[in-house]
Amino acid sequence: MTCHVLIKDFILYIDSLKYNYTFFAHNLGGFDGYFVLKQLLHKQPKMSTYGRYGIITMSLKNSHNYIISFKDSLRIFPRSLADLSEIYDVETKKTTFDLKPAIAGFILYNNEFKKSLNFYLTNDLRSLEQILFKAATYLLEKYNVSLLDCYSTASLGMKIFRTNHVEKEVNEIPILPIFYDKILRNAYLGGVVNVYKPTGNNLRCFDINSLYPYAMKNAMPGKLINTHYGNIKIEKFFGLGLLIYSQI
């Protein structure tokens, strides 16, 4: 059975499901996702992508009108499957397999090779399943956070922080409406970052990169507070603003 036949069978399977399901692939964005996407293009799935990270998530409605989603577990847990199987101490550990004969092409018709390859791939699936089950259980019990709501390590950390460490009535972190979010994102421009290991004798060191913690002591605005016309005293202004200049 070829890879294409396996994926087509999988597509038929998800189309028959009668509940909302989320499927995880370890390295969806860099490998697995493109094989699945090729078979799903005719269904016009919704996708989120991000630069070199490729596909972040895909989703579609199947024939029964249920939502089938695909997420990349590597973005949430950025370690190899072998490392994760040891970290979470799951029963099924990641194994190794020499794929060079398969790449050469002459051994694909060897039944023993097919059996070994099938065992290796099935073992990977079982290992990832056990890792995700263990991680999801831990996150739900300790932090009341669902793994299904997360897309990356950063979103997982923010979800834990917002759920457990923010007094919602006092320090709620606002989520900007998409209109303001797009405006503010255009104001952020990246710069060059260089890392140095300075050495010397009788040096006086000054940290001039501490504006972030200084600014975070203030409550950042998260909604439209006011509209100003005319001159603004910049020394008394705190927050983010959109400047509209017109000359009459």
Structure confidence by residue, pLDDT tens digits, 132-165:
999 999 999 999 999 999 999 999 998 998 888 8
Q: How far is CA 154 from the centre of its chain?
A: 7
pLDDT, residue 219, reads 66
Nearest Cα residue to 17 out of 48, 61, 55: 61
The listed range with the strongest mean pLDDT (39-53, 96-110, 129-143) is 129-143
Pair 90, 131: CB distance under 8 Å: yes
CA distance 183 to 7: 41
pLDDT digits (tens, 9 = 90+) for 160-219: 988 888 776 555 666 777 777 777 777 766 666 677 777 788 888 776 666 666 766 766
The listed range with the strongest mean pLDDT (12-16, 118-122, 135-139, 194-198) is 135-139
The pLDDT-based confidence of 66 (bands split at 50, 70, 90) is: very high
In the three-class reduction of DSSP (H, G, I as helix; E, B as strand; rest coil), residue 9 is classed as: helix
